[in-house]
Amino acid sequence: MCYCTQCGKRYANQHQLRVHMNVHSSKYKCTECGKCFKGSDALTVHRRIHSGEKPFECTVCSKRFTTSGQLVVHSRIHSREKPYKCHECDKAFSVSGHLNTHMRVHRGDKPYKCHLCDKAFSQSGGLNSHMRMHTGDKPYKCRLCDKAFSVSSNLNSHMRVHTGDKPYKCSLCNKSFARSGTLLIHKQHVHSNRRPHDCRYCGMLFKSSIQLKRHVHIHTGAKPYSCRHCSDHFRRLDQLKRHMVKSHNIGTWLICDICQKKFCHSGNLKSHLLRHAGVKPYVCSECPKSFCVAADLRRHQFTHLDVKHFCCGFCGKYFKQKQYVLVHFRRRHGTTA
């Protein structure tokens, strides 16, 4: 057994020890920060951090990178290649580290906890973004309008409102989207009947985990979204955003030019304008009826099924459509969902 006299690390033979000693050798030591490396190649790559050198250029968008590995990962943005697939669900990732982090969702592993509301996250970045909900901090500002965002990805997506860029196209209907997440939701809601997420309270099935989380709040009565200006709490984020605009004049109303109706979200305004135009691109496969928005088509499709997916959290009665549950809540239990 051999050991290093500088750090005490042990090795099985002299060869392994000699290789290890390169770490302590000044030959592979950064003169800027003192960090040591096992080989000259690793040191050369490290020195680019101090020099700012980025020799690897993307041939599509001309963005430059410090290492060839970074360029390989970046190129998957353009090729849409996602070689790392989750064996539990349909999600795929361009980076292996993102897959490893995603697997915490299936394991229920959420090591990063908020000390203000006890909400937990599988990634430290998720916790950092969440904390801005409590502080109201929005450091990412649009240079073309007054909007600001708590996470950089939302700003990047917002910029496409100004540019009109919609790089994510559905392979089934050719509809384009500004966000990859919106495309994924579109595929799940419009083109798939798979409902892998079930409610532990009533057994109701959902296509996405987000839908399930919103539904569970009906059973628990949880209102996790709190206003930082008053004591009001809300079950959904869109309810909080509407409250901020209506009660505290924070945000901007989006107004329909035809009927002057006000909206908090651009998506709701777009759907509303389709109703004025009479455009109904979503056609039912069971009957001739067509609809302006996909949500209306989904609600209609329940009328063709014998299955009653929507459950009353108080008495356990099932209904075909969500609005029937809401009416039932008001009439029988004197409350709303």
Q: Are residues 143 and 207 in the same domain?
A: no
SS (H, E, C) the chain: CEECCCCCCEECCHHHHHHHHCCCCHHHECCCCCCECCCHHHHHHHHHHHHCCCCEECCCCCCEECCHHHHHHHHHHHHCCCCEECCCCCCEECCHHHHHHHHHHHHCCCCEECCCCCCEECCHHHHHHHHHHHHCCCCEECCCCCCEECCHHHHHHHHHHHHCCCCEECCCCCCEECCHHHHHHHHHHHCCCCCCEECCCCCCEECCHHHHHHHHHHHHCCCCEECCCCCCEECCHHHHHHHHHHHHCCCCCEECCCCCCEECCHHHHHHHHHHHHCCCCEECCCCCCEECCHHHHHHHHHHHCCCCCEECCCCCCEECCHHHHHHHHHHHHCCCC
Phi, psi angle pair for 283, to nearest 5°: -105, 135
State which of 51, 67, 86 marks the end of a domain.
Answer: 51
State which of 155, 190, 225 marks the end of a domain.
Answer: 190
Q: What is the number of domains present in the chain?
A: 3
Q: Are residues 138 and 206 in the same domain?
A: no
Q: Are residues 97 and 30 in the same domain?
A: no
Q: Are residues 163 and 257 in the same domain?
A: no
| pLDDT score, position 96 | 86
**Res. 122: pLDDT tops 60:** yes
Q: Are residues 242 and 295 in the same domain?
A: yes
Q: Are residues 298 and 201 in the same domain?
A: yes
| pLDDT score, position 323 | 75
Phi, psi angle pair for 225, to nearest 5°: -100, 110
Q: Are residues 11 and 94 in the same domain?
A: no
The CATH number covering residue 303 comes to 3.30.160.60
**Res. 28: pLDDT tops 80:** no
Domain region containing 185: 56-190
Q: Are residues 208 and 291 in the same domain?
A: yes
State which of 144, 175, 190 marks the end of a domain.
Answer: 190
Q: Are residues 183 and 273 in the same domain?
A: no
Q: Are residues 28 and 72 in the same domain?
A: no
Q: Are residues 257 and 150 in the same domain?
A: no
Other Cβ atoms closer than 10 A to 181: 13
Q: Are residues 285 and 218 in the same domain?
A: yes
pLDDT tens per residue across span 153-182? 888 888 887 888 888 888 877 788 887 878
Which of 66, 123, 72 has the alpha carbon at shortest distance from 99? 123
**Global confidence as pTM:** 0.38
pLDDT tens per residue across span 220-260? 888 888 888 888 888 888 888 888 888 888 877 888 888 99
